[in-house]
């Protein structure tokens, strides 16, 4: 409905690769080169054991319950040593559109996310992904897509829990994002004023609290979202009364009012005259 990162209509991640890997040291050189990705995000999940990773020239030992999240431009390399025994799930993704940036997962942690609150749920989802991939069941690709979407949501919840914020709070929005948010709402009002719209509807579709939406909207527009919508509806009604010979009940319905009495009351309050008298003045 709205052009917003957290809009469910925009949430359609593309799975580029997905593989289950079990590793142990074989005395050979590391299986991967020190590299970065320029066109995707890679998520590597440690399901059991531990392994060393070189990330942007820093060495880390990662263990079960941790995920490595390599956004574009993050250099990384898996390093196997004589003590390495680990089981990992590797996922390559594009078009995430769930987090604040279009196609990256940002958090405080140098690319390593340690699951605490959602650890069990996260690992269970990873096991479900591996099981589904190996099952080759009918329409398995649809189920894998659904499970990956679930996994990303679990990641977002852990990140927000860890950083002491929620997706709904909206507190991370900057001034530009606030302007985009308000413009999306006003554009939606202009196109859908004839439909049933409430602040709760907007809130649910944008995954933001009604209080936050009202606050930002009033700061930028000088009025509440609902009053702004009422002004649009009454302005459209005025145009219809000036140009069309329609019943008041019909005009009310056309601009989003199911109750003609309620419409007339709003119209008179706004223009100082009833709809009937207003139309009569144009004849």
User: In degrees rounded to 5, what are phi and psi of residue 237?
Assistant: -65, -40
- Return the structure tokens found at 93: 């993704």
As a whole number of angstroms, the distance between CA 87 and CA 93 comes to 20
Q: DSSP characters for 137-197?
A: -TTHHHHHHHHHHHHHHHHHHHHHHHTT--GGG-TT--HHHHHHHHHHHHHHHHHHTTS--
The widest CA-to-CA distance across the chain, in whole angstroms, is: 94
The answer to whether the beta carbons of residues 132 and 18 sit under 8 Å apart is no
**Is the confidence at residue 200, as pLDDT, over 90?**
no
Question: So what's the pLDDT on residue 170?
Answer: 38
Render pLDDT for 209-245 as a digit per residue (tens, 0 to 9).
788 888 889 988 999 999 999 999 999 999 999 888 8
As a whole number of angstroms, the distance between CA 114 and CA 250 comes to 59
DSSP 230: H
Question: So what's the pLDDT on residue 207?
Answer: 61
**Is the confidence at residue 180, as pLDDT, over 50?**
yes
Question: So what's the pLDDT on residue 169?
Answer: 39
Q: Of 85 and 102, which is predicted with more confidence?
A: 85
As a whole number of angstroms, the distance between CA 208 and CA 6 comes to 9
**Is the confidence at residue 18, as pLDDT, over 60?**
yes
Question: So what's the pLDDT on residue 172?
Answer: 42
Chain-centre distance for alpha carbon 106: 14
DSSP 13: P
Q: Taking the chain, what is the end-to-end CA distance rounded to the nearest angstrom?
A: 40
Q: Is the full-model pTM beyond 0.85?
A: no
- Strand-pair category, 112-114 with 41-55: unpaired
Render pLDDT for 85-96 as a digit per residue (tens, 0 to 9).
899 999 999 888
Question: So what's the pLDDT on residue 171?
Answer: 38
Question: So what's the pLDDT on residue 168?
Answer: 41
Q: Of 106 and 227, which is predicted with more confidence?
A: 227
What is the H or E stretch that residue 17 is in? strand 14-24
Render pLDDT for 183-195 as a digit per residue (tens, 0 to 9).
889 988 999 999 9
As a whole number of angstroms, the distance between CA 136 and CA 236 comes to 56
Domains and CATH numbers, the chain: 8-164 (2.60.120.10), 170-283 (1.10.10.60)
**Is the confidence at residue 22, as pLDDT, over 90?**
no
As a whole number of angstroms, the distance between CA 168 and CA 145 comes to 24
**Is the confidence at residue 63, as pLDDT, over 50?**
yes
- Return the structure tokens found at 92: 């390559």
Question: So what's the pLDDT on residue 5?
Answer: 44
Render pLDDT for 124-178 as a digit per residue (tens, 0 to 9).
999 999 999 988 889 989 999 999 999 999 998 888 875 544 344 333 445 667 7
DSSP 35: B
């Amino acid at each position: 409905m709205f052009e917003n990162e957290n809009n469910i209509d925009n949430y359609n991640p593309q799975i580029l690769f997905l593989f289950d890997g079990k590793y142990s040291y074989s005395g050979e050189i590391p299986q991967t080169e020190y590299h970065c990705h320029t066109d995707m995000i890679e998520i590597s999940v440690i399901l059991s054991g531990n392994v060393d990773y070189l990330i942007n020239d820093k060495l880390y030992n990662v263990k079960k319950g941790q995920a490595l999240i390599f956004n574009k431009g993050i250099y990384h390399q898996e390093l196997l040593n004589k003590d390495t025994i680990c089981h990992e799930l590797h996922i390559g993704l594009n078009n995430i559109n769930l987090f604040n940036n279009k196609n990256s997962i940002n958090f405080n942690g140098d690319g390593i996310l340690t699951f605490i609150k959602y650890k069990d749920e996260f690992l269970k989802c990873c096991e479900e992904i591996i099981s589904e991939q190996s099952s080759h069941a009918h329409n398995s690709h649809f189920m894998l897509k659904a499970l990956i979407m679930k996994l990303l949501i679990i990641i977002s919840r852990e990140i927000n829990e860890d950083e002491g914020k929620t997706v709904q709070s909206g507190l991370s929005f900057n001034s530009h994002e606030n302007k985009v948010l308000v413009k999306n709402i006003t554009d939606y009002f202009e196109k859908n004023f004839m439909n049933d719209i409430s602040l709760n509807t907007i809130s649910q579709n944008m995954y933001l609290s009604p209080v936050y939406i009202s606050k930002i909207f009033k700061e930028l527009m000088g009025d509440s979202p609902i009053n702004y919508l009422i002004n649009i509806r009454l302005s459209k009604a005025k145009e219809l009364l000036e140009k069309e010979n329609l019943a008041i009940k019909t005009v009310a319905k056309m601009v989003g009012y199911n109750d003609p009495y309620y419409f007339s009351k709003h119209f008179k309050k706004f223009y100082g005259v009833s709809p009937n008298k207003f139309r009569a003045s144009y004849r």
